[in-house]
Chain A
Amino acid sequence: MPHIPAIPTTPERVLREKKTEAKEARPLGPEEIKEQVTELFELSAARAEAGKHVREAWGGLTKAEREELESKGENAVAAHIESARLDPELIEFRETTMKEYDDRIAELSSNSQVLDAYKNRFGELKEILARVVSYEHLRHEEDVVIKAEQKLRKLYEEIGRAPGPIERKKMTGFSDRRKEIEENLKGFELDPKTIDMLRRREVRRMQNDLERYSFAETKSRQELIRQVLPDLLQGAPVLFQGETGSGKSQLAKYISERYLGKIPTVISVSEQIKESQIMGSRGLEAGQTVFNNSEFVKAQKEGRPVILDEVNLMPHEFAGLLHDLLQKRVGDVWVHPVTGEKIPITAPIMATANLKSERYKQRYELDVATLRRFIGGAGAREIHYLDIGKKDKEGNPIAPETLQILSAVLADRHGDIQWSEEEAMQKVEELKRFVQACRKIQEDFTLSIREGGEESLARGDRLAFKELVITLKDQIEIMKAWKASGFTEPLDSIVLREFFHKAEISGRAAKDRENMIKVFIANKLFQNTNPEDFKIQGLSPKAVRQWQGKE
């Protein structure tokens, strides 16, 4: 079990700061103690967040720095507020809130019965945490060993040579360790409390990833990363193809930062791209002709991955410039075709391409020679909207990965959503219906893009979406707004405000929006919304009322 250091609890620290301590007080009944300990836990957890808000309001100053500043006098404080353009009212609000937290924590924990009960429960939680950390450590090690095994195997495949006796021994070592870990995991005792904490930490990790990388690694994405990573580490290129908003570019950025440890250079490709944007251009510097490398070449030299966004838009004659480079791997040297400079390859090229409708295929398709180079690398992978096509045993559509991400958005940093027990069931239901509707829109959009014709769509209960779709990013923004409203507003009014009212578009997109409304109503949202409130040009009030079952 890992060692968890014995640090004082929040109530103990608050009492110490207030230079007071817990005392014997009026004896409390067990129920009262339980209630007060629960409140103390909630306050202690929220206090950490309130502390962060105070620091933010002060432009990032820590408590010690604030105290030092205050010791210099009022003028110094005013000068800091002025120069950092801080809001004094916000500072006051944050500080008084923090003080109120401390006062209430001190009040509750001044009763020694309550403080002792709190410390006991805290001790229990520490033990659970130790178990959780050990379990996660084993899982992590298992993952590392599997990846190392895969990487070595790939290396030998690439060079087409059989491993020697020492290498074979190393590989056997990995495989033995993996079996050992699997055995350890089998013998791991998991009780409901440990599982609860494991789950909460999962939610927290997802929140951190969303905040840091705007990406969440769900099971299917993890599987995809596992498949392409060994090749990417060898410098092989990868192509992610998918519908608009399916997360291709975010995935490429995430892999680059998280797994390759490098900030990528992103190049947005367009039909107007020039050769100089790929290779660089000549210019004058102090009367001398110099060659200025492009961002693309600079990234190659600095060993940073390059993401070619929408590479399918690249004119075919320029794509040829990349062919040589796309075949290089780590350890190879690429010779710049203009300057003749020798650049060692240390990072892969990642590219994304939008899947276009049949109509646009000729114009916006990657040429076969380029495509082949990606397929010969880490592959040309299709990225679709999360959960598309997933069904439960009874054949009903389900969206587990989307729900996992949205739950993390709705939760606080402890993995809780501020829904009371009574309202939780109804809110979960509402959320699932919303996700269901979004999934249906994404599925129909995908089909519209692929098949193009309305004839094939009409064969099933499919609607044609030509331009608009509701992406995961849109869903996340809606969840954020719902959470910010304190869940007081019904979800459909948030959808109306955050999605439909934010962009009022006419023309073909208006038809898409009309179809979206139809899907949402079919999933029991907007049951009582006035047709005019949708603000969609040409939307027939009669049709809406029919969908709502009112006519």
Chain B
Amino acid sequence: MPFEAYKIYQEYEPDKYKTSTQEKVAKALAGAKKEGLEPVKEALDFSEVREVFGQDFLGVEEIERFTGHSLTPEEKRIAEEKWQKKIEEQGLTKESLEQLKQEGFMVVLRVGTLAGKEKKDKEMPVTIKNLRQKFPLFYNQDWYDNEQFADVALSGIDWGIVKKELLEESKSKNWDEQEEILKTWAKTHGVQEKFVRRRTPAEVAYDILAYFQVHNERILEKDWDWTSVQSSVGEFVFVGVFDSDGLGVSLDTRGHRRSTLGVCPAR
């Protein structure tokens, strides 16, 4: 008997086709869940997360207001799926989220599309430059106009669980020392190192501006979040100091230390 070629890759698409029996089982499980009979631990839904984080939860409605882009049902479905994936992968529970809230974290939905400045303008990807074009809240700088990182877009819909201000112990440390601090942070919080990371410049700008647009409150007003991205001259980019002069973008070599330069752990 020859071997069916599709068997080589079908394990990666478990939901593509389901037999009637599999569908029936899925329906029955969904029905049981509705009746409160589900045996497995119930996933945390958005209302619970919103309850835990209060105003530090920027979900679908908040982000629609911020970006001006209405999420399609498909995008909402993806957002839900991504959230479930995140809590499963990182083993997040209501208790661990409560602890993160206490430590000054927020939950933010990131989407890849931004409505144009005017209603007639086309939607655009979320990049530093497009954020600057839509929101006149940036410090007046042009050094990054021709930098590649300023054109790199957010990769699409995903959730960020991110500390609103710098991790205190990461201040006055160089870039590599901060890397070690992130690893230690992961260990003490019982999360795998690979899930704790720095943000990209576009992510930092997006999170700060989203928070400001929704709550009219500034985060990272005095400090810089050092990102994972290098500029064309090889120095690492940082974003922050969002005071009345506007959101700044700057850079420094990895070996330097500053008292206002640290890292906001992101998961």
Contacts and interface: CB of A to CB of B under 8 A. Distances in A.
B89 interface: yes
A407 B12 CA distance: 14
B145 to A, nearest CB: 8
Most buried by A among B122, B125, B232: B122
Interface string A366-395: 001001000110011000000000000101
Given A190-B20, A368-B146, A376-B122, A196 B5 contact: no
Most buried by A among B4, B7, B194: B4
A192 B19 contact: yes
Nearest to B20: A189
Interface string B1-15: 111111111101100
A403 B2 contact: no
A160 B120 contact: yes
B34 interface: no
A417 B5 contact: yes
A226 B4 CA distance: 30
Interface residues of B, number: 31
Contacts of B10: 199
A551 interface: no
B4 A200 contact: yes
A403 B12 CA distance: 10
B41 interface: no
B3 A417 contact: yes
Interface in B171-212: 192, 194
Nearest to B89: A393
Nearest to B124: A375
Interface string B52-96: 000000000000000000000000000000000000110000000
B8 A428 contact: yes
A395 B18 CA distance: 25
B51 to A, nearest CB: 28
B17 interface: yes
Contact of A415 (B5, B88, B89, B122): B5
A379 B127 CA distance: 13
A484 B8 CA distance: 19
Interface in A398-429: 398, 400, 403-404, 406-408, 410-412, 415-421, 424, 427-428
A417 B234 CA distance: 49
A492 B154 CA distance: 40
Interface string A338-360: 00000000000000000000100
Contact of A157 (B12, B23, B122, B124): B122
Contact of A418 (B2, B19, B230, B232): B2
Nearest to A419: B3
Majority SS at the chain A contact face: helix
A352 to B, nearest CB: 17
A190 B19 contact: yes
Contact of B2 (A198, A368, A400, A417): A417
Nearest to A196: B4
A156 to B, nearest CB: 11
Given A196-B4, A376-B122, A407-B6, A400 B13 contact: yes
29 contacts: A157-B122, A190-B18, A190-B20, A191-B20, A195-B17, A195-B19, A196-B4, A199-B4, A199-B10, A202-B6, A371-B151, A376-B122, A395-B194, A400-B9, A400-B13, A406-B8, A407-B9, A411-B5, A415-B4, A415-B5, A417-B2, A417-B3, A417-B4, A417-B5, A419-B3, A420-B3, A421-B3, A428-B8, A453-B234
Interface in B146-171: 146, 151
Contacts of A195: 17, 19
Contacts of B13: 400
B3 A199 contact: no
Contact of B5 (A189, A416, A420): A416
B20 A361 contact: no
Contacts of A424: 3
A439 B53 CA distance: 40
A407 B17 contact: no
Contacts of B194: 395
B153 to A, nearest CB: 9
A278 interface: no
Interface in B124-158: 124-125, 145-146, 151
Contacts of B234: 358, 453
A408 B5 contact: yes
Contacts, number: 86
Given A200-B6, A407-B5, 5 more contacts: A199-B6, A200-B5, A411-B5, A416-B2, A417-B2
Nearest to B148: A361
A203 interface: yes
B69 to A, nearest CB: 12
Interface string B105-126: 0000000000000001010110
Given A199-B10, A398-B12, A416 B4 contact: yes
Contacts of B23: 190
Contacts of A407: 5-6, 8-9
Nearest to A367: B146
A236 to B, nearest CB: 10
A263 interface: no
Contacts of A404: 8-9
Contacts of B20: 189-191
A186 to B, nearest CB: 8
Contacts of A200: 4-6
Nearest to A377: B122
A431 interface: yes
Contacts of B7: 428
A379 B13 CA distance: 29
B154 to A, nearest CB: 13
B9 A419 contact: no
Nearest to B1: A421
B39 to A, nearest CB: 21
A419 B2 CA distance: 5
A203 B194 CA distance: 35
A190 B17 contact: yes
Most buried by A among B3, B19, B194: B3
Contact of B8 (A189, A393, A431, A451): A431
Interface in A416-465: 416-421, 424, 427-428, 431, 451, 453
Most buried by B among A190, A196, A412, A428: A190
Interface in A44-75: none
Contacts of B5: 200, 203, 407-408, 410-411, 415-417
A412 B151 CA distance: 45
A403 B6 contact: no
A286 to B, nearest CB: 50
Contacts of B12: 398, 400, 403
A408 B8 CA distance: 10
Nearest to B22: A190
Contacts of B6: 199-200, 202-203, 407, 415
Contacts of B19: 190-192, 195
